[in-house]
Amino acid sequence: MTSKLIVALDQPTKKEALDLCDRLGVTVDFYKIGLELFIQEGPKMIFELKSRGKGVFLDLKLHDIPNQVARSCRRIAGLGVDMFTIHTQGGKEMIASAVEATLDESNKLGIDPPKILGVTVLTSFSQDDLTEIGVRRRLKEQVKSLSELAVGQGISGLVASPFEIEEIRALGGDGLLIVTPGIRLEGEERGDQKRVMGPKEAVEKGATHLVIGRPISQALDPQKKAYEIIKMMEEAKI
Catalytic residue annotation: 61
Give 27's DSSP letter. Answer: G
Q: What SS3 state is found at 2?
A: coil
> ∠ CA 4-32-166 to the nearest 5 degrees?
45
Residue type, 8: A
| Closest C-alpha to 19, from 4, 5, 3, 37 | 37
Radius of gyration of the CA atoms of the chain, in A? 17
Q: Is 107 left (phi over 0), alpha (psi -120 to 50) or beta?
A: alpha
Is residue 210 within 8 Å of 199, Cβ to Cβ?
yes
Cα gap 189→50, rounded to integer Å: 32
Q: Which helix (H) or strand (E) holds 207?
A: none
Other C-beta atoms within 10 Å of 65: how many?
12
Is residue 45 within 8 Å of 33, Cβ to Cβ?
yes
Cα gap 202→137, rounded to integer Å: 24
